[in-house]
């Protein structure tokens, strides 16, 4: 598989990476079978994926422990571990983000929270160092840690060898500029899919200019773009998909009709809709990493298969036209 450099770090990551959010097993995704998760992660590595993304937020450390277990037998230098910081539930310092599974979770990118969180991540993952540390959610009122303090802590961790590269996520352009005024950024991680391409459209030029690697997540919009959630699919109140207006029935209808119109492409490329959508996503930028999400071996294999399909230009353009026409999204 094609490899893409992580910023200017010298680390080379597979174009398709493995995301482990849905394996976290918290209330928004529902319970997860550990053996199935381990098999999915190990399949990913066997098939050439060398970047694994996790976070303390995914099941309050569970996903990190799972990743640690899955990679125990794999030589450490063959794998890139990426985790996150700034999601804080140990005390009431920070700006309220969400309440989940009986915990009050806050945005906290203070030096104290970063140092403490990284110590936990190292322990959960059972590793000596983390390859890439990403600030998960940026600071907000009433707890506005200056970016200089956050960056200072990350730089300190880098100098002592605890982390090898710095990334940021869920940020705006002003925040990117603030980080860049402090020093090097290797990764920007944002949602990217055919329903939500705006952030990639906005940030890809700044990534190009500053040699930052863009990582796109929710490429299949939590399964919506595979066509598997029909009009009769019922969302429970706590389901993660409830957060997005794209799952509302009137939008789901438009999306399903658009996907239905792509059946001839599936026949042409001998693939399913998940493959086709991943193939479309991989064409966006040669320096973008697609963070595949899933909790089953088959999800991993679908991302890999889609990433290997080279869509012809005319088909890519037709899909773009359909997206604009059906959904009004500015691809």
Ligand X SMILES: NC(=O)c1ccc[n+]([C@@H]2O[C@H](COP(=O)([O-])OP(=O)(O)OC[C@H]3O[C@@H](n4cnc5c(N)ncnc54)[C@H](OP(=O)(O)O)[C@@H]3O)[C@@H](O)[C@H]2O)c1
Shortest gap between Cβ of 296 and ligand X (angstroms)? 7
Using an 8 Å Cβ cutoff, are 56 and 90 in contact? no
Sign of CA dihedral 125, 127, 132, 133: positive
> Given the rule CB under 6 A, which of 94-102, 122-130, 150-158, 221-229 is the region that contacts ligand X?
221-229
Q: Which of 240/326 has CB closer to ligand X?
A: 240
Residues numbered 56-115 forming contacts with ligand X, rule: CB under 6 A: none
Using an 8 Å Cβ cutoff, are 312 and 39 in contact? no
User: What three-state secondary structure class fits 13?
Assistant: strand
Q: Please identify which residue in 14, 50, 145, 170 interacts with ligand X, judged by CB under 6 A.
A: 170
Shortest gap between Cβ of 304 and ligand X (angstroms)? 10
The answer to whether residue 303 is catalytic is no
Residues in the chain: 331
Q: Please identify which residue in 295, 304, 311, 319 interacts with ligand X, judged by CB under 6 A.
A: 295
Residues numbered 6-65 forming contacts with ligand X, rule: CB under 6 A: 19-22, 53
Pick the closest to residue 114 from 100, 96, 94, 141 (CA basis): 94
Q: Which of 31/314 has CB closer to ligand X?
A: 31
Q: Could you say whether residue 162 binds ligand X (CB under 6 A)?
A: no
Shortest gap between Cβ of 34 and ligand X (angstroms)? 14
Name the catalytic one among 58, 229, 269, 303.
Answer: 58
- Backbone dihedral angles phi then psi of residue 89, each to the nearest 5 degrees: -135, 10
Q: Which of 33/317 has CB closer to ligand X?
A: 33
CB within 8 A of 92, min separation 6: which ones? 104, 106
Kindly state the number of chain residues that form the binding site for ligand X, as judged by CB under 6 A: 26
For 131-168, b/e burial (b = at least 16 CB within 10 A) is bbbbbbbbbeeebebebebbbebbeebbeeebbbbbbb
Shortest gap between Cβ of 208 and ligand X (angstroms)? 21
Q: Which of 64/315 has CB closer to ligand X?
A: 64
Shortest gap between Cβ of 292 and ligand X (angstroms)? 6
The 3-state DSSP composition of the chain as helix, strand, coil percent (nearest 5) reads 45, 20, 35
d(Cα 44, Cα 61) in Å, to the nearest integer?
21
Q: Could you say whether residue 222 binds ligand X (CB under 6 A)?
A: yes
Q: Which of 7/292 has CB closer to ligand X?
A: 292
Using an 8 Å Cβ cutoff, are 151 and 183 in contact? yes
Q: Which of 23/127 has CB closer to ligand X?
A: 23
Q: Which residues are catalytic?
A: 58
Q: Which residues bind ligand X (CB under 6 A)?
A: 19-22, 53, 136, 169-170, 189, 217-223, 226, 228, 274, 291-295, 299, 302
């Amino acid at each position: 598989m094609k490899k893409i450099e992580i910023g200017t770090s010298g680390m080379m990551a597979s174009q398709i990476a493995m995301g482990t959010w849905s394996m976290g097993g918290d209330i928004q995704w529902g319970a997860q079978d550990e053996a199935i998760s381990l098999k999915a992660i190990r399949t990913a590595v066997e098939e050439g994926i060398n970047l694994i993304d996790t976070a303390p937020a995914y099941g309050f450390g569970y996903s990190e422990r799972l990743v640690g277990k899955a990679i125990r037998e794999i030589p450490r230098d063959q794998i890139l571990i990426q985790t996150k910081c700034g999601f804080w539930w140990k005390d009431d310092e920070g700006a309220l983000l969400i309440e989940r599974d009986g915990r009050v979770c806050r945005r906290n990118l203070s030096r104290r929270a970063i140092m403490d969180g990284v110590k936990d991540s190292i322990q959960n993952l059972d590793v000596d160092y983390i390859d890439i540390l990403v600030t998960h959610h940026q600071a907000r009122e009433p707890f506005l840690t200056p970016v200089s303090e956050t960056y200072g802590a990350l730089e300190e961790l880098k100098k002592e060898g605890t982390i090898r590269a710095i990334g940021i996520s869920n940020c705006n352009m002003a925040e990117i500029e603030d980080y860049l005024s402090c020093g090097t950024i290797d990764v920007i991680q944002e949602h990217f899919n055919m329903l939500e391409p705006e952030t990639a459209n906005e940030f890809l030029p700044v990534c190009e200019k500053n040699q930052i690697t863009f990582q796109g997540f929710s490429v299949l919009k939590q399964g919506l773009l595979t066509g598997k959630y029909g009009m009769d699919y019922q969302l429970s109140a706590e389901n993660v998909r409830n957060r997005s207006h794209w799952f509302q029935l009137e939008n789901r209808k438009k999306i399903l009709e658009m996907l239905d119109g792509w059946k001839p492409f599936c026949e042409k490329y001998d693939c399913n809709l998940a493959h086709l959508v991943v193939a479309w996503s991989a064409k966006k930028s040669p320096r973008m990493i697609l963070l595949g999400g899933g909790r089953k071996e088959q999800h991993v294999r679908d991302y890999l298969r889609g990433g290997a399909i080279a869509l012809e230009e005319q088909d890519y353009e037709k899909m773009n036209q359909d997206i604009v026409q059906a959904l009004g999204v500015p691809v």
